[in-house]
């Protein structure tokens, strides 16, 4: 079950965290994984580690906020591999702050990556998918795209937009054989979260507070999100499109 043999998968923000876990799980399932990340050196190093494990992998340096670069990288992939079966829009950035603590430039920065990045890459791959009448797009949104989170105005605004874009694309392209879904994680222990915790005066207390947000009393792991991505990428989920897959340890259950 959940085989991705012979599939070509593009994953943005794939050099670390959730993205790298998805890439490793997809590689293990038989996919050729294309690692896209703005940190090119890290992407190249991670790609080599995947290759050493026997997985098929390639990397490109890419800032998803750059529309022309998204199309250029997609053309390069299509020239080499002939198609894109799966796109995982994972790249994203965060921000802490209320409306009064968020500047217009803060909102623009998050929008350029979290929303335009998804738009740019989806628009780049869709023509080939539509022509072939087969394709699968998975957007990594957030529980912050389902319910409001205090002090996360810009982040929630952009993640609600990703959920809306997911549903719109799913409806628009369903008859062309394209499935589009999103995953909405709660707090996940990634290098990004660890770095934020280190900024607190009491990192241990901050970690406990973050863990307590989930009903089950802990944060998630990147591999738990990757497992959901594997299901959505596989043929076993062929009747699933337009869905927001909530994986939040019960965070939203009582809301």
User: What is the b/e burial string over 41-60, where b = at least 16 CB atoms within 10 angstroms of the residue's CB?
Assistant: ebbbebbeebeeeebbbbbb
Considering the entire predicted model, what is its pTM? 0.95
Distances (CA, A) of 14 to 38, 47, 143, 185, 210: 9, 10, 20, 16, 24
Question: Residue range 175-190: average pLDDT?
Answer: 95
What was the pLDDT predicted at 176? 97
| pLDDT above 90 for 205 | no
| Cα four-point dihedral sign 148, 154, 158, 159 | negative
What was the pLDDT predicted at 58? 97
Distances (CA, A) of 35 to 41, 47, 131: 11, 7, 24
The pLDDT tens digits of the residues spanning 78-87 come to: 999 999 999 9
Candidates 55, 111, 155, 231; catalytic one: 155
| pLDDT above 90 for 199 | no
What was the pLDDT predicted at 198? 78
Asked whether the beta carbons of 175 and 161 are under 8 A apart, the reply is no
Annotated catalytic residue 111: no
What was the pLDDT predicted at 211? 86
What was the pLDDT predicted at 29? 98
| pLDDT above 90 for 182 | yes
Asked whether the beta carbons of 225 and 185 are under 8 A apart, the reply is yes
Q: Which structural domains are found in the chain, ordered by start?
A: 8-247 (3.40.50.720)
Rg of the chain taking only CA atoms, in angstroms: 17
Question: Residue range 230-238: average pLDDT?
Answer: 98
Q: How confident is the model at residue 98 (pLDDT cuts 50, 70, 90)?
A: very high
Q: Taking all residues of the chain, what is their mean pLDDT, rounded to a whole number? A: 95
Tally Cβ neighbours within 10 Å of residue 157: 20
| pLDDT above 80 for 192 | no
**What is the distance between the alpha carbons of residues 217 and 207, in angstroms, rounded to a whole number?**
11
What was the pLDDT predicted at 117? 98
């Amino acid at each position: 079950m959940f085989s991705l043999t012979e599939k070509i998968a593009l994953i943005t923000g794939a050099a670390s965290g959730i993205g790298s876990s998805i890439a490793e799980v997809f590689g293990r399932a038989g996919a050729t994984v294309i690692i896209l990340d703005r940190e090119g050196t890290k992407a190249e190093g991670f790609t080599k580690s995947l290759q050493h494990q026997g997985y098929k992998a390639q990397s490109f340096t890419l800032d998803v906020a750059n529309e022309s670069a998204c199309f250029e990288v997609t053309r390069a992939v299509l020239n080499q591999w002939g198609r894109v079966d799966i796109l995982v829009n994972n790249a994203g950035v965060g921000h802490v702050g209320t409306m009064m603590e968020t500047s217009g430039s803060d909102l623009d920065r998050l929008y350029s990556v979290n929303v335009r990045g998804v738009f740019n890459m989806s628009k780049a791959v869709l023509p080939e998918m539509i022509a072939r009448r087969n394709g699968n797009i998975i957007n990594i949104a957030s529980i912050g795209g389902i319910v409001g989170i205090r002090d996360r105005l810009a982040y929630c605004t952009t993640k609600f937009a990703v959920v809306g874009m997911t549903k719109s694309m799913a409806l628009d392209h369903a008859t062309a054989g394209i499935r589009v879904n999103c995953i909405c994680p709660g707090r996940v222990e990634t290098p990004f979260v660890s770095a934020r915790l280190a900024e607190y005066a009491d990192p241990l207390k901050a970690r406990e507070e973050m863990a307590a947000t989930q009903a089950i009393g802990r944060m998630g792991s990147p591999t738990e999100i990757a497992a959901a991505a594997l299901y959505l990428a596989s043929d076993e989920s062929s009747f699933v499109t337009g869905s927001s897959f909530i994986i939040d340890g019960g965070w939203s259950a009582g809301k």
